[in-house]
Amino acid sequence: MTRSPQGQPPAPTPTPVPVPPSPAPTSGQARGCGCLPTLILGVLLTIGLVFGGMWLLWGRDLPKVSDLDVINFSGQTRVFDRRGELIGTLSPSLASGTNVNRELLGPKQISSWLQKAVVASEDRRFYQHSGVDPIGVARGLLKGLLRNDLEGGSSITQQVVKNTLLRDLGGARTAERKFKEAVLAYQVDKRFNKDQILNAYLNVIYWGDGGPQDIIGAGGAARAYFKKEAWELNLAESVYLATIIPAPNRRYKDFKAYRPLMRSVLTRMVEDGQITKQQAEQAWITPIYPAGWRIGWNPDGTVRTAVLERPSRLAENLASMTPQGEQYRSLYYLQEVERELAGKVDRGTLYGGAKIFTGMDLQAQRAAEQASRNAQLPDGATLGIALVNPQNGEALALVGQKLTGGRPNEWNNATQSRRQVGSSIKPLLYTLALEKGWKQSDTILDSPISGDYQPKNYSGTWTGVYVSMRYALNHSLNLPTVRMAQEIGIPTFEAKLRDLGLTPPRDGGLSLSIGTLEASPLQLAAAYAPFANGGLYYAPSTVRRVESAQGEVLYQRPDPVGKRVWDKRVAWLGLDMIRGVVNDLSAYQGGLATKARIEGWQVGGKTGTTNDIKDLWFAGVTPLTSGAVWVGKQEGGAMPNWAYSGDIPTPVWQQATAGALAGREAATFVPPEGIVYRTYYRLNMAFRTEEADQAPVGHDGSKREAEPEAEPTPEPALPPPAQTEQAAPTSPDTTLPWTVPSTPEPSSSEPDPAEPLPSEPVPSDPPPSEIPPTETLPGDLPTDPALPTDAFPTDVQPDDAAPAEPAPSDPAQPETNPWLPPELTLPPRQ
């Protein structure tokens, strides 16, 4: 055997093992595996189906990104009142949730340090992505899977969309909002450049609680936290403001805990080439002192001590640096101008230097704003004021909040709020009854109704007898009012309310008659205007026309066309009743609206209060104005028990209206033909001529036709109507315009001041509330020497051939109830 060189025998040669032939490849294997392409295709198809479903569900009603065009405009559009006086400038604004920033800053008005710090902190890849950051989205999805939270991962562009175009969705963390954010962010990124988007972000972002107002935008943040303008911020201050954006209220209150975030942002800025390392180090050791903080610094930039002493400094700084007075004049009117022109004039035209002519009366607007500032309201309450021109529906003045001198809340209660109107709806129902053939002298049963719905009078009491329409409205009794609605029919009343521009609630039922309808002050003012113009309803408006800077007419409002809602005589009867609410009773006698009287002017109106005193109203008219005032809490809720509609909104209405009329030539209401006056229950009342001498009719709320009541007994308590007709002057076919006063009525039409006062029951004390009198009041009816001579309607001109006789004295009432008014002794309806 041959040995190997190492002395080992050679390894044996292995015997080859036959290898079986490989099986022939299948057709699929011959072409290679097709699993991966199929998987990819399936994934893409699934994504496409999901996206398509989302688009069908949420993508067809997306807002227009063109609404953000305001970031390019400078706000040079001027707005003028009805006489051509300059109201102010219509400034572009951006909404941030429920807040609106009307002080938009351009890129050059904001510190470049702040712009760079915000990008580094909030969206590091802002200049690389197309509106949506895929890495940020992935991070947000991961957070959603782990924490069941869809928040997180939004780019700056998405946050602009969320805070402006999608502000109606609020802070909802839903798949719908995320989908819409992504789609709109992509569209915004294509329409605007990055600097414009960043500038919009810096104008709308929420930067904390500033007390009476939120801190919105870079301008507000610089003022609140450092009491300086946005362009004055240094690098250290800018980085601080950038780090608190995600949770400003929490991070502001714990300076030490969030101080390390400033180092992280500075490091990012160095890595991204936005600042040098030396600039970062200098910023780190620069002491900063956010408002309200007392901070002790070490030389190396670390915090030695930090104590939050006065958090209120944020609000103080913001208030002290916010422009006062003139900048916010006419704010709420200008808001309504913007809303009215939305969709009629493109935003480029609206904010690009146009001239807008409105129906505002600058004197009325200033008077309404002053009335708001002077208003004495319960703690936590605010208001809304609207005055309109009865002759065409143009808004003369709008104030949406209680003004305090600082920056006001943006919510416009004059036009945007819908609040229950309470008893201020009653004149509309009573006038409808007059339209259906009732008379002011007709009586209605004051007692509870049958059925599940059991309303009560404000006092919680009831007399169980028939009271006149005039008395029921003067004392705002609920039970007679509900019975009236029963007889007339709620569907009929609902139809009339719609004619008056109001929207009855669904299934309101009988409660509609005592004020469950919701309306804004502007809507209610427009609904009362037909009392002052002879029965025509005009939809309220603000804008007359819009012209370009070159004088080209871009928008012209059609001439207002009134809709006939009341016959002229019916409108006059309704006016006579609400004038009675203001003038029939003195304050001592429990008059609900005596504080609405304006010296030298005829006034009619009605108060309103809702359950738990959540809403207080007064709506009223003069020959030249129709207006409404609402008072309540912005968030809802009860006000104190001492708050009465006759004491709080009524003086506000009076001051606003008196200021609007100051210096105007006096105008008077002119009744139409076919109106005469009779004295019933010692009150001068208007009647249609053909009904003036008909006996009063009693109503109990039943649907059957009412029948005349029986004649009084031989010793009636009801004074017979005066037998001599008192003819009223006729009116022209058209009502008087705002600027043209009517011919004053002859002084002979004034009733005799010596005529006895109304003998209907009155409270022993003069609480300015809608509380009817009780049956236990002692003594004789006092004669108030301070009662003005125009406490009765002054529209009557006596017939010279047959002067009116004074009303007979009132016989003694039964001793069982000596304070019942004469009509309460009428026999009940059979």
pLDDT digits (tens, 9 = 90+) for 658-713: 999 999 998 999 999 999 999 998 999 999 999 999 999 999 988 644 444 434 33
For residue 769, name the pLDDT band (cuts at 50, 70, 90).
very low
pLDDT at residue 377 in the model: 96
- What is the C-alpha separation between 666 and 623, in angstroms, rounded? 9
pLDDT at 730 exceeding the cut of 80: no
| Residue 211 vs residues 214, 224, 250: alpha-carbon distances, Å | 7, 11, 15
- DSSP readout, 654-680? HHHHHHHHTTSPP----PPTTEEEEEE
pLDDT at 11 exceeding the cut of 60: no
Residues facing 677 on adjacent strands? 686, 726
pLDDT at residue 827 in the model: 34
pLDDT digits (tens, 9 = 90+) for 405-449: 777 788 999 999 999 999 999 999 999 999 999 999 999 999 999
Percent of the chain's residues with pLDDT above 90: 54
Mean of the per-residue pLDDT values of the chain: 79
Report the alpha-carbon angle 741-747-753, nearest 5: 125
pLDDT at 714 exceeding the cut of 50: no
- Rounded to the nearest 10 degrees, how much is the dihedral formed by the CA atoms of 482, 488, 492, 493? -30
pLDDT at 228 exceeding the cut of 80: yes
Report the alpha-carbon angle 186-187-190, nearest 5: 90
At 293, the amino acid letter reads W
Mean pLDDT lowest among 101-105, 108-112, 357-361, 456-460: 101-105
For residue 175, name the pLDDT band (cuts at 50, 70, 90).
low
- Residues constituting the chain: 830
Both tokens of residue 558? 């059609």
How confident is the model over 456-476, as a mean pLDDT? 94
- What is the C-alpha separation between 619 and 631, in angstroms, rounded? 12
* 345 DSSP 8-state letter: S
pLDDT digits (tens, 9 = 90+) for 28-49: 444 555 576 777 766 666 656 6
Residues facing 381 on adjacent strands? 633
- DSSP readout, 24-54? PPPHHHHH---HHHHHHHHHHHHHHHHHHHH
pLDDT digits (tens, 9 = 90+) for 330-346: 889 999 998 999 888 87
For residue 305, name the pLDDT band (cuts at 50, 70, 90).
very high
Report the alpha-carbon angle 306-308-310, nearest 5: 145
- What is the C-alpha separation between 62 and 441, in angstroms, rounded? 58
Mean pLDDT lowest among 94-103, 309-318, 373-382: 94-103
Q: Distance between terminal CA atoms of the chain?
A: 148
For residue 354, name the pLDDT band (cuts at 50, 70, 90).
confident
pLDDT digits (tens, 9 = 90+) for 565-611: 999 999 999 999 999 999 999 999 989 999 999 999 999 999 999 99
For residue 16, name the pLDDT band (cuts at 50, 70, 90).
low
pLDDT at 13 exceeding the cut of 70: no
CB 803 within 8 A of CB 749: no
State the alpha helices, DSSP H only, in 205-330.
217-226, 235-243, 248-252, 255-271, 277-285, 313-321
Closest to 283 measured CA to CA, from 246, 224, 233, 227: 233
| Residue 745 vs residues 91, 272, 737, 742, 820: alpha-carbon distances, Å | 47, 82, 18, 9, 35
CB 603 within 8 A of CB 622: yes
Residues 6+ apart with CB under 8 A from 39: none
Please count the other Cβ atoms lying within 10 Å of the Cβ belonging to residue 223: 23
- What is the C-alpha separation between 333 and 346, in angstroms, rounded? 19
pLDDT at residue 23 in the model: 56
pLDDT at residue 7 in the model: 47
At 396, the amino acid letter reads L
pLDDT at residue 721 in the model: 35
How confident is the model over 741-767, as a mean pLDDT? 35
Q: Can you list the pairs that 682-685 forms with residues at least 24 positions away whose Cβ atoms lie under 8 Å?
A: 682/719, 682/755, 682/756, 682/757, 682/758, 682/759, 682/807, 682/810, 682/822, 683/470, 683/580, 683/584, 683/758, 683/792, 684/751, 684/792, 684/793, 684/796, 685/440, 685/441, 685/470, 685/576, 685/580, 685/793
Residue 271 burial by CB count (10 A; 0-12/13-18/19+): exposed, middle or buried?
A: exposed
- What is the C-alpha separation between 769 and 195, in angstroms, rounded? 59
Please count the other Cβ atoms lying within 10 Å of the Cβ belonging to residue 235: 22
State the alpha helices, DSSP H only, in 475-567.
478-488, 490-499, 521-533
Closest to 824 measured CA to CA, from 470, 465, 476: 465
CB 81 within 8 A of CB 87: yes
- Helix (H, G, I), strand (E, B), or coil: what is residue 527? helix
Mean pLDDT lowest among 466-470, 539-543, 729-733: 729-733
Helices (H) and strands (E) in the chain, counts: 23, 26
pLDDT at residue 715 in the model: 31
pLDDT at 191 exceeding the cut of 50: yes
Overall fold of domain 93-320: Penicillin binding protein transpeptidase fold (1.10.3810)
How confident is the model over 179-206, as a mean pLDDT? 87
CB 208 within 8 A of CB 244: yes
State the alpha helices, DSSP H only, in 59-84.
none
Quote the pTM value.
0.67
- What is the C-alpha separation between 248 and 215, in angstroms, rounded? 10
Residue 168 burial by CB count (10 A; 0-12/13-18/19+): exposed, middle or buried?
A: exposed
pLDDT at residue 830 in the model: 33
pLDDT digits (tens, 9 = 90+) for 113-160: 999 999 999 999 999 888 887 776 666 555 555 554 444 468 888 888
For residue 2, name the pLDDT band (cuts at 50, 70, 90).
very low
For residue 828, name the pLDDT band (cuts at 50, 70, 90).
very low
pLDDT at 294 exceeding the cut of 90: yes
Report the alpha-carbon angle 805-807-811, nearest 5: 145
Closest to 669 measured CA to CA, from 583, 730, 598: 730
Residues 6+ apart with CB under 8 A from 562: 392, 393, 533, 536, 537, 538
Q: Give all strands of the β-sheet with 683-688 in edge-to-edge order.
A: 683-688, 675-680, 726-727
